[in-house]
Amino acid sequence: MDHDLPVRAFKDDLYRQFARIGKCLSSDKRLELMHLLSQGPKSVEKLAEATEMSVANVSRHLQILLDASLVKFSKRGTYVIYSLAGPHIEGFLNALWRMSDMQLADITRMKHDFLSRCEDVQTLSLHEVLSKMDEGSMMLLDVRPADEFEAGHIPGAISVPMEELHQYLQSLPKGTQIAAYCRGPYCVSSAEAVEKMQREGFTAFRLEEGVYEWREYQTQR
């Protein structure tokens, strides 16, 4: 090896490039935007509505993500539609969520505190729900927005966004067993949906896993 090569300079430049991703992810708002985009492509306006940020603020964060090549965009009429740069980004995000869950006790506490307020909400595993669906004894509702369902969903699930849940339940017999899922382990909508269904007299369960976890489950079988 040529010892005259600028090894130190190479290492410095290399880790400086790696740090670009770390700096980009140092914002809680950008992490939320990426989590939303992991569920499917979205316009700036949709992201602003979901995060309760201004369009200008969302655009600023998206530009930072774009500069780090973590997201990409396309034009659809007058709208600019953003998506993750590739499926490997979704895998990285889920690895980050799991590592944070393991390393940060506050996350475990926050999840416990939230679910303890939903004391009547029972959680079933993905295996349990899929088995009951195969038996025909349970139906599965996807309570995410319809565009996220269209981008990808657990096979056999029915798209019933939260705002349509009450109306949809009117068509079901009260003896129906129902499970609900949303955007994965850190999404609260499934627990809220189960509470609503229980108040209307249904036997309902929360599925903690989402579409990403279902894909992982399929590869492990």
Q: Which sequence positions are flagged as catalytic?
A: 182
Q: Which of 55, 53, 51, 62 is nearest to 24 (CA)?
A: 62
Strand partners, 203: 177
Amino acid identity at 18: F
Pairing type for strands 123-124 and 203-207 reads parallel
**Angstrom distance (rounded) from CA 117 to CA 204:** 17
**Angstrom distance (rounded) from CA 216 to CA 213:** 5
How many alpha carbons fall within 13 Å on the CB side of residue 209? 18
> How big is the CA angle at 28 (ends 189 and 42), to the nearest 5 degrees?
60
Long-range contact pairs involving 28-32 (C-beta distance under 8 Å, separation at least 24): 29/53, 29/57, 29/61, 30/61, 30/64, 30/65, 31/93
